[in-house]
Amino acid sequence: MRRTLPHGHKRACARLLASLVLLLGGASCSGGSRPEAHEPAAEARAGVQWQPWDPASFERARQGDRIILINVAAGWCHWCHVMDDKTYGDPEIARLLRERFLTIRVDADARPDVAERYLDWGWPATALLTPDARPIMELRGFQKPASFKALLLELVAAQDAGSLDGRRDPPEPAPADGDLEALRVRVAAQLDHYYDDEQAGWGGPKKYPLAPAVEHALLVSHINNGTDVGARARGRATASLAAESQLIDPVFGGIYQYSINDVWTRPHYEKLGSLQATTLESYALAYAATGDARWRDAAHAIRGYILRFLHDRETARFFASQDADLTRPDHTVVPGDEYYAKPEDERLALGIPRVDTASYTNVSALMIRALCRLYSSVPPPAGDDARGDARATARDEDALRIAVAAYDELRSRRAASGGYAHDDGAPAQLLYLDDQAAIGRAQLELYRVTGAPQYLDDARAVADFALAELQDEARGGFFAHTADPEAVGVFRERRRPLRSNGELARFLIDLHRMLDHERDDLPYETAARRALKAVSAPKVVKSWGRMVGEYLLALEALRYTPVELTVVGGRDDPRALALRQAALGLYEPRALITQSEPGARYPDRGQPAVYLCTDTACSQPITDPARLQGAARDFIASLE
What are the pLDDT digits (tens) for 289-301?
Answer: 999 999 999 999 9
Dist CA 435 CA 231 (whole Å) = 35
Q: Where are the domains of the chain?
A: 7-160, 195-413, 424-434+447-560, 564-639
Longest dimension (CA), the chain: 86
Q: Looking at the DSSP assignment, which residues form a beta bridge with residue 138?
A: 127
| Prediction pTM value | 0.90
Task: Inform me whether the pLDDT recorded for 372 exceeds 60.
Answer: yes
- Among 575, 607, 609, 613, smallest CA distance to 592 is for 613
Q: What mean pLDDT comes out for the span 65-87?
A: 94
pLDDT band at 26 (very low <50, low <70, confident <90, very high): low
Q: What is the pLDDT of residue 331?
A: 87
Dist CA 107 CA 80 (whole Å) = 11
pLDDT band at 14 (very low <50, low <70, confident <90, very high): very low
Vertex 21, ends 15 and 24: CA angle to 5°?
Answer: 130
Dist CA 556 CA 452 (whole Å) = 27
- Percent of the chain exceeding pLDDT 90 equals 80
What is the tens place of the pLDDT at every residue in 563-608? 999 999 998 899 999 999 999 999 999 999 999 999 888 888 899 9
Fold (topology level) of 7-160 = Glutaredoxin (3.40.30)
CA 327 vs CA 81, 269, 305, 359: distances in Å: 11, 14, 20, 22
Three-state SS at 459: helix
Q: What is the pLDDT of residue 617?
A: 87
User: In one letter, which amino acid is 311?
Assistant: H
- Percent of the chain exceeding pLDDT 70 equals 90
Burial class (CB in 10 A: 0-12, 13-18, 19+), 457: exposed
User: In one letter, which amino acid is 98?
Assistant: R
Dist CA 11 CA 549 (whole Å) = 16
195-413 against 564-639: fold identical:
no
Lowest mean pLDDT segment, chosen from 401-405, 458-462, 629-633 = 629-633
Contacts of 584 (CB under 8 A, 6+ apart): 376, 378, 448, 449, 593
Q: What is the pLDDT of residue 7?
A: 38
CA 122 vs CA 21, 33, 36, 145, 178: distances in Å: 10, 14, 19, 18, 34
Contacts of 43 (CB under 8 A, 6+ apart): none
Q: What mean pLDDT comes out for the span 495-519?
A: 94
pLDDT band at 3 (very low <50, low <70, confident <90, very high): very low
Dist CA 106 CA 128 (whole Å) = 14
pLDDT band at 97 (very low <50, low <70, confident <90, very high): very high
Q: Taken in order 298, 209, 241, 372, is the CA torsion positive or negative?
A: positive
CATH number, domain 195-413:
1.50.10.20
CATH ID of 564-639, from 3.30.70.260, 1.10.357.10, 3.40.30.10, 3.40.1160.10? 3.40.30.10
Query: If phi over 0 gives left and psi between -120 and 50 gives alpha, with beta otherwise, what is residue 446?
Result: alpha
Q: What is the pLDDT of residue 386?
A: 41
pLDDT band at 380 (very low <50, low <70, confident <90, very high): low
Q: What is the pLDDT of residue 524?
A: 98
Burial class (CB in 10 A: 0-12, 13-18, 19+), 574: exposed
Q: What is the pLDDT of residue 318?
A: 98
Residues comprising the chain, all counted: 640
Q: What is the pLDDT of residue 429?
A: 80
Task: Inform me whether the pLDDT recorded for 42 exceeds 90.
Answer: no
